[in-house]
Structure 1
Amino acid sequence: MGISTRMMVLCIVVAYMVVISPFAEALTCGQVASSVIPCLPYLQKGSPLPPACCAGVKGLNNAANSTPARQTACNCLKKIYNSNAGIDVGKAAGLPGKCGVNVPYKISPSTDCTKIR
């Protein structure tokens, strides 16, 4: 393989990585759910707040680093709320603060996720 062919292949690989990279890092509802599952006993039964919950909340906050990711996280949190009976709305709304995280929207089943930036 000549140098020009190698350079062309390298350019194609780099271009592919640039185009695909944003999609490979997209936040999924599975990731959101696994981040907040440790929080469910606290949110539903008032159990003590486990460290794994705050670790998940902080990780989720770091992963939701763009408008589309924050909107995805919001929609996923609403789905989790609606599919798990007995979640205390006040505890859910206060969870980021309890974990030392600033979330730019209210954690609530009534939040309009399309307005999150």
Structure 2
Amino acid sequence: MAMGLRVVVAAAAVMLVMLVMLVVGRFDADAVVTSCGQVVRDLLPCVGYLKNGGLVSGSCCGGVRKLKADAKTTADRQRACRCLKGASAGIKVGNAQSLPGKCGVSIPYKISPSIDCSKVK
């Protein structure tokens, strides 16, 4: 049970990093991000890095890029933001802030646990 909770907490931390990525990207088309579960699945490979630092895996960066690509509308990005913000316990903010760059993803915002998701465009 404790292990399952740790996975959820770690996934939430990863989502916080992705939130910033979603907020910054330019997107179009229909909404694609349908649930927090999807966001968590995309970023689950990043949990180790978000909690402990070290090397960022290729699967983590793939999840980061997928989440950014899937967040096509403002509603998608705001939904992902709320999900990531709610799941950010247990992660190191500095690791979350450095993740986009380590994955070669450029975002114009600073990742922060105090971000106002309603202002994400």
> What TM-score, normalized by structure 1, do the two folds share?
0.71
Structure-2 residue corresponding to 1:108: 112
Report the counterpart of residue 36 of structure 2 in structure 1.
29
Q: 1:105 & 1:72 partners in 2: Cα distance?
A: 17
Distance across 2 between alignment mates of 1:52 and 1:97: 15
Residues matched between the structures, number = 92
Matched, 1:74 2:78: no
Query: Which residue number corresponds to residue 27 of structure 2?
Result: none
Sequence identity of aligned pairs in percent? Answer: 48
CA RMSD of aligned residues (A): 1.6
Go from structure 1 to structure 2 and tell me whether the alpha carbon gap of 1:98 and 1:26 turns closer, same or farther (over 3 Å shift): closer
Task: State the structure with bigger RCO (CA 8 A, min sep 6), 1 or 2.
Answer: 2
> What is the CA distance between 1:106 and its match in structure 2?
3.0
Alpha-carbon separation, structure 2, partners of 1:34 and 1:57: 11
SS of alignment partner, residue 81 of structure 1: coil
**1:61 correspondence with 2:65:** no
Specify which structure has the higher proportion of helix.
Answer: 1
